[in-house]
Amino acid sequence: MKKINVAQVIADSKFNRFHFSLLAWCFLIILFDGYDLVVYGTVVPVLIEEWGLTTVQAGAIGSYGLFGMMFGAIILGILADRIGRKKVTAISIVLFSLFTVLCGFTTNVLLFSIFRFIAGLGLGGIMPNVIALLTDYSPKKMRSMAVSIVLCGYSVGGMLAPILGILIMPSLGWESIFWVAGIPLLLLPLMYKKLPESAVYLARKRKTEELFKNLRKVDPNITFDGTEELEHIPVDNSKVPVVGLFNNKRGLSTVMFWTAFFSCLLMVYGLNTWLPKLMIEAGYGLNSSLGFLITLQGGAMVGTIIIARLCDKYGSKKMLVPMYASGAIALTLLGFGGNTFYIYVLVAVAGAATIGAQNIVQAYVSQYYPPNIRSTALGMASGIGRLGGMMGPLLGGFLLSIALPIEMNFIAFAIPGLIAAIALTFVSDKRSYVNMPNRVSPENVTATNATLSEAAD
C-alpha cells in the first residue's frame, strides 16, 4: 500500500500560485502588525503635548498594548494548536483592527489605554499563527526565505506609520493614524476564504477532504487512487503543548530562545516608542526624527532579506549571534552623535540588528520545533518577549525623566543586544523532535479521493 507523507509532499513542492497567495496574505497581515509596532511612537510626541502627559505616563500607556500582546501571544498561540491557526488568526485580526480604530475615537486616557490593551491581545496572536501557518505550507528550499519575506511586512508597516504621520497627521490629526488599522477588518471575509488551515491540524482532526484539497494546491501534479495510507506530519508525544517545549532535551534551548526574545523586544519596542523623542532631545525636528524611524524600519527590511539568505547557507544561529552584537555596537555609537549621514547609517544598522534579528529568530523558532507545537513555541517565546517589550517604553520614559546624558539612553538599549547574543550561543544546533506518523484509514482516503474526482469531473 502506497504511503503519502504530508510533510514530504509539502517540503518537495515547487513554489506556485497557492504559495504566492499564502505569502501575500501573510505579508499583509504582518504589515499591520508592524504598523501597530510604530503607530504609538509616531503620535506620542503629539499626545504628550496635547494630553499633558509626563514621559513616564506616556511610557506606561505604550506598555499597556504590549501587556495585552503578552497574554494574546501565549493564550492564542496555545489555542491555535487546539482549534486551528486559521480560526485564531481571524479572531486576532478582529481584536486588533477594531480596537486600534477605536483608539482614534477617544480623548480619554483611560479608555485609550484599555483599547490598546485589548488590541494587544489580538496582535499577540497574529505573529505566532501566521508564521506557523506559512512554515506549514512552504517548500523546504525556501522556507526561511518565505518567512523572512513575510516578516519584512513588519518593517513595511513600521515605515508606513511615520510616513502617514508626516503626510496626514498635520491636517487630519493624530486620530487618523489609528483609523488606518481598520483596513484588515474590511478584508477579513476574503482573507478567511483564501487562507488554508494548517496541515497538521487537518490531519489530526481527520479532515481528510480539506487536507487533500490543500495538497492538490500545494502540488497540482499529485494524484491519489484511493489505496494510499496517509502519514501525518511528524508530531511530538506531549499532550500538553507547553510541556512539549521542554521534551527531547529542548529545555535549555527553549529558555535561551525566551531570553533572546525578551532582550530583543525590549530594544525593538523601546526604540520604536522613543527614537523620535530621543532624536528631538538631540536637536532634530519632529519630521527629521520620524525620518530616523523610517530608516530604522528600512534597515530592518534590507537586513532581514540579506541575513535570511545567509541563514539558509550558514545556519540561523551563526548569523544571529553576531547580528545581535552588531546592533549593540551601533546603538552605543549612536548615542555619541556625528554627522547626519553617519547617524542614518547607524540607525539603519540598528534596525537590521534589532527588528531584523527579531524577524529572523522567529523563522528560526518556527523550524526548530515540531509542527504540532509550533504555534505554542512561537506564542510562548513571543509572550515572554512581550515582557521585554513592555519594559522598553517604560525604561525609555524613566531614563528621559531623570535627564541622563543622551548617550546613556542608547547604551541602556544596547545592553540587551549583548544578552541576546550570549543567550543564542547556548541554543542546541540540532532540532530534536521525534517522528511519529499518524495514519488516516484507507477508507477515509478513498472517500476523499472520490470527492476530489467528482469535483474534477
Distance CA 116, CA 72 (A): 12
Quick check: 248 pLDDT over 70?
A: yes
Spatial strand order of the sheet with 439-440 comes to 3-5, 229-231, 439-440
Per-residue model confidence as pLDDT tens digits over 42-72:
888 888 888 888 878 887 887 788 788 888 8
Determine the distance from the C-alpha atom of residue 449 to the mean position of all C-alpha atoms in its chain, rounded to a whole number: 37
Note the pLDDT of residue 20: 92
Mean pLDDT, to the nearest integer, of 264-269? Answer: 84
Pairing of strands 3-5, 229-231: parallel
pLDDT at 449: 36
Residue 261: is its pLDDT beyond 80? yes
- Give the model confidence (pLDDT) of 168-222 as tens digits: 888 888 888 899 989 999 999 999 999 998 887 887 777 777 888 888 888 888 7
CA 192 to mean position of chain CA atoms: 19
How many helices (H) and strands (E) are present in the chain, helices listed first?
19, 3
108: exposed, middle or buried (Cβ count in 10 Å: 0-12, 13-18, 19+): exposed
pLDDT of residue 289: 64
94 has pLDDT over 90: yes
Q: According to the model, what pLDDT value does residue 335 have?
A: 75
Of 93-102, 408-417, 441-450, where does the model show the most confidence? 93-102
Does residue 93 surpass a pLDDT of 90?
yes
Q: 0.85 cut: is pTM over it?
A: no
pLDDT confidence band for 452 (50 / 70 / 90): very low
Copy the grid coordinates of residue 301: 527590511
Q: Specify the residue for cell string 487630519.
A: 172
* pLDDT-based confidence at residue 287 (cuts at 50, 70, 90): low
Residue 244 carries which side chain, given as an amino acid letter? G
b/e 290-325 (16+ beta carbons within 10 angstroms → b)? bbbbbbbbbbbbbbbbebbeebbeeebbebbbebbb
Distance between CA atoms of 93 and 125, rounded to whole angstroms? Answer: 9
Residue 90 burial (CB count, 10 A): 18
What pLDDT is recorded for position 57?
Answer: 84
Does residue 11 have a pLDDT over 90? no
Predicted confidence (pLDDT) at residue 343 exceeds the cutoff of 50: yes
Contact at 8 Å (CB) between 382 and 236?
no
The average pLDDT across 100-120 equals: 90
pLDDT at 132: 83
Q: What is the mean pLDDT of residues 13-20?
A: 89
Name the pLDDT band for 440 (thresholds 50, 70, 90).
very low
| Contact criterion met (CB below 8 Å) for 423 and 256 | yes
Q: For residue 439, list its beta bridge partners.
A: 231
Assign 431 a pLDDT band (cuts: 50, 70, 90).
low
Helix axes 286-314, 17-51, angle to 10 degrees: 150
The pLDDT score that the predictor gives to residue 229 is: 66
Q: Which residue has the higher pLDDT, 241 or 242?
A: 242
- For the chain, give the number of residues: 457
Share of the chain above pLDDT 90, in %: 15
Q: Per-residue pLDDT tens for 135-149?
A: 888 887 777 778 878
Nearest by Cα to 38 from 406, 378, 351: 351
How far CA 89 is from CA of 33, 128, 130, 415, 434, in Å, comes to 12, 9, 7, 34, 28
